[in-house]
Amino acid sequence: MAYIKGISYYLPERVVTNDELLLEFPEWSVEKVATKVGVKSRHLAAVDETAGDMAEKAARKLFEEYNIDPKSIDFLMLCTQSPDYFLPSTACILQNRLGIPTSAGAFDYNLGCSGCVYGLVMAKGLIESGIAKNVLVLTAETYQKYLHPSDKSNRSIFGDGAAACLISTDGIAEIGNFSLGTDGSGADHLIVRTGASRCKQATGDVFEDMDGHLRFDDYLYMNGSAIFNFTLDAVPEMIKDILAKNKLESGDIDYFVFHQANKFMLNTIRKVCMLPKDKFYINLEETGNTVSSTVMIALKDCFDKNVIHPGMKVMITGFGVGLSWGGTILTF
């Protein structure tokens, strides 16, 4: 069996409020952003602050809060779509910076909104196969650096941040069985088209999508309506599959912690899936959508506020870029 032993997170110092965004987009409504998107402020990484820097800070907070000796870690993985370099792996650099033994394995994996869950999948496999005893799972993104200055929608939604989680042979929450899925036919719905091997040079191309939003090839593009529709198709079936694979009924779940995409989407999912409002976590007000870190940030906040406590069964899910999705049950 594999367990979560501790969780921590780091948010950059720079905070951008809705009022600040309004100075750039005076035609916009602060109330609309706060009500529909659910975000009042978000953290932005400094110009010289990378995903690797933030992951290191999250890991050091974890070590301090849970009295973890980095020399006890025998595997490290980092989920990021904004690595410090094309190569080497940022996880390898973090092994050295964090003082983790050279006998530990380390790698990056490129995944977004479902990345936290996929990290738990791999960590559980390493633990249960006997390959590792203490796996450090890190998530970190600087999506704000991928956004065009005029992209007011995504600038209001996304925030930068990092989370750290230790998976071990004992701990505070047993990790259950997983439901996973991938639909690469929707890759174009959330994409940065240039900069990597398929199209290395910036093009400067700008298009208008079917919803009338500008699509900049050299910056992050999200087809909001397509992602919304994908979520409404994938998440209800995923919930059923998670319950079936863990031999549970919906009424057995004490709390639901889903990827914090945006308030409107989460409320729609909750209503469609008929999940109790008082058992469903929504809180993006001060962080925004931190991509792969949202679930870990939410779980940590729930611990600190005693919303989640021993004896509870908690369903976690992630869904988005890829397109990909995944979920499991945590038993505290």
Q: Could you list the active site residues?
A: 113, 259, 289
Residue 226 CB neighbours (<10 A):
17
Residue 114 CB neighbours (<10 A):
29
Burial 95-113 (b: 16+ CB within 10 A, else e): bebbebeeebbbebbebbb
Q: Which residues are bridge partners to 255 per DSSP?
A: 314
Tell me the helices (H) and strands (E) count for the chain, helix number first. 9, 16
Q: Residue 62: left if φ>0, alpha if ψ -120 to 50, beta else—which one?
A: alpha
CA diameter of the chain: 57
Residue (of 20, 6, 37) closest to 282 by Cα position: 37
Radius of gyration of the chain (CA): 19
Q: Which residue type sits at 140?
A: A
Residue (of 124, 117, 122, 74) closest to 98 by Cα position: 74
Give the per-residue SS3 of 214-266: EEECCCCEECHHHHHHHHHHHHHHHHHHHHHHCCCCHHHCCEEEECCCCHHHH
CB 144 within 8 A of CB 156: no
Residue 42: φ, ψ to 5°: -145, 155
Per DSSP, the three-state class of 136 is strand
Burial 56-78 (b: 16+ CB within 10 A, else e): bbbbbbbbeeeebebeebbbbbb
